């Protein structure tokens, strides 16, 4: 980046203390894209769905078994 010549000349004191004010400024950076769901959450949801499906299958098997045992 080429330097721009200023109208003002920098002057440093020969004696005494040199102080400088540091003013914090905001720095913009690229936004970080985060997944809506973490990998762990997706795994937990998948496990929960599989468990619910297994429970449904067991309940249906139990109902069929009860219907077969009842005298009709």
Identify the DSSP state of 61. H
Give me 27's structure tokens. Answer: 């720095």
Name the more confident of 44 and 16.
Answer: 44
pLDDT over 90 at 5, yes or no = no
Compute the residue count for the chain.
72
pTM recorded for the entire structure: 0.45
What is the pLDDT confidence band of residue 17, given thresholds at 50, 70 and 90?
Answer: confident
Cα distances (angstroms) measured from residue 56 to each of 52, 60, 61, 65? 6, 6, 9, 14
Q: From CA 30, how far away is CA 67, in angstroms rounded?
A: 63
């Amino acid at each position: 980046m080429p330097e721009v010549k200023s109208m003002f000349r920098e002057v440093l004191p020969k004696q005494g203390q040199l102080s400088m004010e540091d003013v914090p400024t905001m720095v913009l950076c690229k936004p970080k894209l985060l997944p809506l769901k973490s990998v762990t959450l997706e795994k937990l949801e998948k496990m929960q769905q599989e468990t619910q499906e297994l429970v449904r299958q067991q309940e249906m098997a139990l109902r069929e078994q009860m219907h077969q045992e009842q005298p009709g």
